[in-house]
């Protein structure tokens, strides 16, 4: 392209004789100075400007011209310096009217070099801007890929961003995986996107990793293929395009860029295939004519961007797979931990899973709530996962509680009750032996005379003693149940505890030991104060044990949430007795789920399950007394969360009486 010299009409330059006849440049006469936008920024241009040419032209317009063209000032004959109007301009050079032709040619040649330099500088600046934008785009995409944990979302992002960055019409993603035999590796067609055919159904399939297909060839060799037209593949290439897709959907696949995705161990983990780079990204390739007019080969920029994206994608996919492996490992640990808890306390088998399910259902119901104090509460996927783990492990600290306390069903431990029953059996036998001894002594002392009357008296005494022992045993059996102790029972137990018996060695023993009286006198439940504190210590144990686990940042609150399920809003709970504002909302939800399941579970031998209606009434009462969050309980009831856990998810529950769903908590 010849350089261009622009000069006002009717103006001549004495120092440049024969200007219009110069063969190496084009000279064009203009009526007025052009604007910078009117010039060809890729063509070296010189503007020959006299002082009168700039009258009425805005300074910023002249500055814009100086950025795209060389400005050469024209002076009057005999002038030693440019006119003041020209001196203010960023002139490349200045030619007086009476300068010699040699000076004129030298100034023009210098101006041409300056014009060429302006073009080179503009190109470099544009390239720098493009490169900077590419870096920004790639950095943004890389950050997004690095933070996305969900594999499906990650793959969709890779395909979508590859189309956006390269101007392609379509993209497909293949991942390397094992075939059904578990040994052969294949390419799995995992995801695709086509801007021309956006409603195209996704049909996943496998293709061999060999030279037969374009993607297979790239996976085998690790080479990048940049094909201008896949319909014109030469006979010397081993791979071929399967045109069945084009024939079926009326599509024209033309240019193609196929890039291997390689892991940090330099192993191919997938193939990214880009199709049909377009002049106009918004045009749909609806027929072959449009495709011929719009489709371009993938250029160096596309190759650079797609290669960088594929590298980012490979790392992101590998990280996502590793993250999934970690999740599976963590899931396995949690499952094992729950099994360990329940193996120590089989009576509560299924409780942890049910509490987790109730809690997650309640959290999802809270997300759907449009009013009230939790209208703006939204739980992310990671927060729900964190909550689920906390709920599953909320009783993990029970592994640190003595097993006999953990599985205690009555007020007395099973072996203590067995010893007590044997003691009473011995006392019954003592009554029989005492009867036989007194009968024999009477016969020796009195003979047969009056024996029948004496035997009746002795038998009545024995029967009275045994009836007394049986009554005491009945009182003990009733008192041993983990229910509210009836009025007067404690006094009767103390009376029994004051009774004694003598063994064969003549040693006197109490009928009930002090410890037995103390346990049997427990007013409510089956645990004394020391045992109850030991059971309550499972919460502190849970926090301490879970705090030892190096949770990932998004799961870091698991210990804090898990330890809060026995706290109450008024500060009367444990282990810390904190009040409402210090209890995480997740722990408040778990508290409701935990109490509901404990009330309705039919698998606990030390208490009877209650019906759904009764359980909800108890929960309402707790909320009315300021112990539970009434708003969360209202959602729990209103959304029917209590009915969302199937009987198969743990132990069966007491069925409802069939009445309609309970009303909301006010």
Return the minimum-mean-pLDDT range out of 45-54, 150-159, 377-386, 601-610. 601-610
DSSP string, 27-57: EEEESSPPPGGGS-TTS-EEEEEEGGGGTT-
Provide mean pLDDT across the span 291-307: 91
Q: pLDDT at residue 196 above 50?
A: yes
Highest averaged pLDDT of the listed ranges 39-43, 238-242, 387-391: 387-391
User: What is the rounded distance in angstroms from the CA atom of residue 365 to the CA atom of residue 588?
Assistant: 14
Place of tokens 């003691």: 423
Return the minimum-mean-pLDDT range out of 332-346, 451-465, 651-665. 651-665
Place of tokens 């609806």: 286
**pLDDT confidence tier of residue 588, bands split at 50, 70 and 90:** very high
Alpha helices in 486-577 (DSSP H): 489-497, 514-520, 529-547, 558-562
**Residue 315 CB contacts under 8 Å (≥ 6 apart), including other chains:** 145, 146, 263, 264
pTM of the predicted model as reported, rounded to 2 decimal places: 0.61
Provide mean pLDDT across the span 375-399: 92
Mean pLDDT, the chain, whole residue set:
86
Residue 479 CB neighbour total at 10 angstroms: 24
**Chain-centre distance of CA 622, in angstroms?**
34
**pLDDT confidence tier of residue 582, bands split at 50, 70 and 90:** very high
**Comparing 183 with 67, which gets the higher pLDDT?**
67
Provide mean pLDDT across the span 113-140: 77
Q: Is there a contact between 385 and 585 (Cβ–Cβ < 8 Å)? A: no
Q: pLDDT at residue 442 above 50?
A: yes
State yes or no: cis peptide before 575, omega within 30 of 0.
Answer: yes
Residue 555 in tokens? 């799961």
Place of tokens 């293929």: 225
**Comparing 312 with 640, which gets the higher pLDDT?**
640
Q: pLDDT at residue 633 above 60?
A: yes
**Chain-centre distance of CA 632, in angstroms?**
24
Residue 255 in tokens? 């240019």
User: Which of 453-466 are b and which e, b meaning 16 or more Cβ less than 10 Å from the residue's Cβ?
Assistant: eeeeebeeebeebb
Q: End-to-end CA distance of the chain, in Å?
A: 84
Collapsing DSSP to helix, strand or coil, 263 comes out as: coil
Provide mean pLDDT across the span 127-139: 67
Torsion region of 386: left, alpha or beta (phi above 0 gives left; psi -120 to 50 gives alpha): alpha
Number of H helices, E strands in the chain: 20, 14
Provide mean pLDDT across the span 313-319: 82
Nearest to 381 by CA among 208, 221, 148, 608: 148
Q: Is there a contact between 108 and 136 (Cβ–Cβ < 8 Å)? A: no
**Residue 249 CB contacts under 8 Å (≥ 6 apart), including other chains:** 197, 200
**Residue 24: per-residue pLDDT:** 82
Provide mean pLDDT across the span 472-476: 91
Return the minimum-mean-pLDDT range out of 165-174, 407-416, 486-495, 536-545. 486-495
Q: pLDDT at residue 665 above 70?
A: no
Report the DSSP pairing between strands 508-510 and 500-502: antiparallel
Collapsing DSSP to helix, strand or coil, 70 comes out as: strand
Provide mean pLDDT across the span 115-136: 77
**Residue 360: per-residue pLDDT:** 96
pLDDT more than 70, % of the chain: 91
- The 3-class SS string of 360-423 reads HHHHHHHHHCCCCCCCCCCCCHHHHHHHHHHHHCCCHHHHHCCHHHHCCCCCCCHHHHHHHHHH
Q: Is there a contact between 81 and 93 (Cβ–Cβ < 8 Å)? A: no
Return the minimum-mean-pLDDT range out of 93-97, 436-440, 565-569, 618-622. 93-97
Alpha helices in 40-150 (DSSP H): 59-68, 84-87, 101-147
**pLDDT confidence tier of residue 660, bands split at 50, 70 and 90:** very low
Alpha helices in 240-350 (DSSP H): 244-249, 288-294, 300-344
**pLDDT confidence tier of residue 147, bands split at 50, 70 and 90:** low
- List the beta bridge partners of residue 26: 4
**Chain-centre distance of CA 657, in angstroms?**
40
User: What is the rounded distance in angstroms from the CA atom of residue 3 to the CA atom of residue 503?
Assistant: 129
Q: Is there a contact between 624 and 618 (Cβ–Cβ < 8 Å)? A: no
Q: Is there a contact between 521 and 493 (Cβ–Cβ < 8 Å)? A: yes
Place of tokens 């060999």: 210
pLDDT more than 90, % of the chain: 46
Nearest to 161 by CA among 375, 2, 306, 289: 306
**Comparing 524 with 142, which gets the higher pLDDT?**
524
Residue 378 CB neighbour total at 10 angstroms: 12
Provide mean pLDDT across the span 460-479: 93
Q: pLDDT at residue 246 above 50?
A: yes
**pLDDT confidence tier of residue 437, bands split at 50, 70 and 90:** very high
**Comparing 8 with 171, which gets the higher pLDDT?**
171
Q: pLDDT at residue 615 above 70?
A: yes
Q: pLDDT at residue 194 above 90?
A: yes
Place of tokens 């045994």: 466
User: What is the rounded distance in angstroms from the CA atom of residue 401 to the CA atom of residue 504?
Assistant: 39
**Residue 322: per-residue pLDDT:** 81
User: What is the rounded distance in angstroms from the CA atom of residue 627 to the CA atom of residue 570?
Assistant: 6
Provide the CB-side half-sphere exposure for 591 (13 A, CA). Answer: 27
Q: Is there a contact between 439 and 460 (Cβ–Cβ < 8 Å)? A: no
**Residue 22: per-residue pLDDT:** 67
**Residue 210: per-residue pLDDT:** 93
**pLDDT confidence tier of residue 347, bands split at 50, 70 and 90:** low
**Residue 663: per-residue pLDDT:** 29
User: What is the rounded distance in angstroms from the CA atom of residue 195 to the CA atom of residue 599?
Assistant: 56
Residue 292 in tokens? 């011929």
Return the minimum-mean-pLDDT range out of 86-100, 173-187, 606-620, 646-660. 646-660
**Residue 656: per-residue pLDDT:** 40
User: What is the rounded distance in angstroms from the CA atom of residue 61 to the CA atom of residue 24?
Assistant: 28
Q: Which sign, positive or negative, has the C-alpha torsion 72, 74, 79, 84?
A: negative
Q: pLDDT at residue 577 above 60?
A: yes
Q: Is there a contact between 191 and 162 (Cβ–Cβ < 8 Å)? A: no
């Amino acid at each position: 392209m010849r350089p261009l010299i622009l000069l006002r009409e009717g103006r001549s330059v004495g120092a440049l004789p024969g200007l219009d006849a110069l063969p190496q440049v084009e000279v064009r006469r203009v009526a007025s100075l052009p604007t910078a936008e009117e010039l060809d920024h890729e063509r070296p241009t010189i503007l020959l400007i006299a002082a009168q040419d700039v009258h009425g032209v805005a300074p910023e317009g002249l500055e814009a011209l100086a950025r795209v063209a060389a400005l050469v000032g024209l002076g009057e004959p005999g002038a030693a310096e440019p006119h003041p109007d020209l001196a203010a301009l960023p002139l490349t050079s200045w030619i007086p009217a009476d300068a010699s032709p040699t000076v004129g040619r030298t100034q023009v040649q210098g101006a041409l070099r300056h014009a060429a330099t302006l073009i080179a500088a503009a190109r470099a600046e544009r390239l720098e801007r493009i490169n900077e934008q590419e870096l920004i785009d790639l950095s943004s995409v890389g950050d997004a890929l690095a933070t996305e944990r969900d594999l499906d979302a990650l793959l969709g992002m890779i395909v979508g961003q590859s189309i956006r960055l390269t101007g392609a019409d379509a993209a497909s993603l293949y991942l390397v995986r094992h075939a059904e035999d578990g040994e052969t590796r294949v390419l799995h067609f995992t995801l695709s996107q086509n801007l021309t055919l956006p409603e195209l159904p996704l049909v996943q399939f496998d293709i061999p990793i060999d030279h037969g297909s374009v993607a297979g060839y790239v996976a085998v060799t690790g080479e990048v293929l940049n094909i201008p037209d896949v319909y014109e593949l030469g006979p010397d290439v081993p791979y071929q395009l399967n045109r069945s897709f084009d024939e079926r959907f009326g599509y024209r696949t033309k240019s193609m860029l196929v890039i291997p995705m390689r892991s940090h161990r330099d192993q191919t983990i997938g193939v990214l295939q880009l199709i049909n780079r377009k002049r106009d990204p918004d045009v749909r390739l609806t027929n072959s004519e449009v495709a011929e007019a719009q489709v371009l080969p993938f250029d160096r920029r596309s190759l650079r961007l797609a290669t960088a994206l594929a590298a980012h994608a490979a790392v992101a996919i590998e990280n996502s797979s590793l993250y999934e492996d970690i999740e599976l490992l963590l899931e396995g640990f949690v499952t094992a931990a729950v099994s360990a808890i329940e193996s120590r306390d089989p009576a509560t088998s299924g409780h942890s899973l049910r509490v987790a399910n109730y809690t997650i259902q309640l959290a999802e119901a809270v997300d759907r709530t449009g009013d009230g104090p939790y209208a703006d509460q939204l739980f992310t996927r990671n927060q729900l996962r964190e909550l689920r783990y906390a709920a599953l492990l909320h009783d993990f600290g029970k592994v640190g509680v003595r097993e006999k306390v953990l599985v205690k069903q009555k007020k007395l431990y099973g072996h203590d009750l067995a010893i007590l029953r044997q003691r009473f059996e011995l006392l019954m036998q003592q009554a029989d032996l005492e009867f036989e001894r007194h009968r024999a002594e009477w016969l020796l002392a009195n003979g047969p005379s009056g024996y029948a009357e004496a035997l009746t008296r002795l038998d009545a005494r024995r029967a009275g003693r045994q009836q007394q022992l049986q009554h005491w045993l009945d009182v003990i059996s009733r008192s041993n149940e983990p229910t509210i102790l009836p009025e007067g029972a404690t006094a009767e137990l103390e009376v029994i505890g004051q009774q004694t018996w003598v063994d064969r060695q003549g040693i006197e023993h109490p009928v009930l030991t002090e410890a037995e009286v103390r346990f049997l006198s427990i007013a409510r439940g089956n645990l004394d104060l020391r045992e109850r504190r030991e059971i309550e210590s499972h919460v502190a144990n849970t926090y301490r044990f879970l705090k030892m686990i190096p949770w990932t940042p998004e799961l870091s609150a698991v210990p804090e949430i898990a330890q809060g399920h026995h706290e109450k809003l008024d500060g009367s709970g444990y282990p810390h007795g904190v009040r409402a504002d210090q209890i995480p909302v997740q722990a408040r939800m778990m508290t409701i789920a935990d109490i509901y399941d404990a009330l309705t579970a039919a698998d606990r031998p030390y208490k009877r399950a209650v019906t759904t209606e009764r359980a909800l009434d108890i929960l309402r009462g707790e909320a009315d007394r300021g112990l539970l969050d009434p708003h969360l309980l209202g959602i729990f009831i209103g959304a029917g969360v209590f009915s969302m856990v199937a009987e198969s998810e743990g132990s069966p529950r007491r069925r409802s009486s069939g009445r309609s769903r309970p009303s909301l908590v006010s």
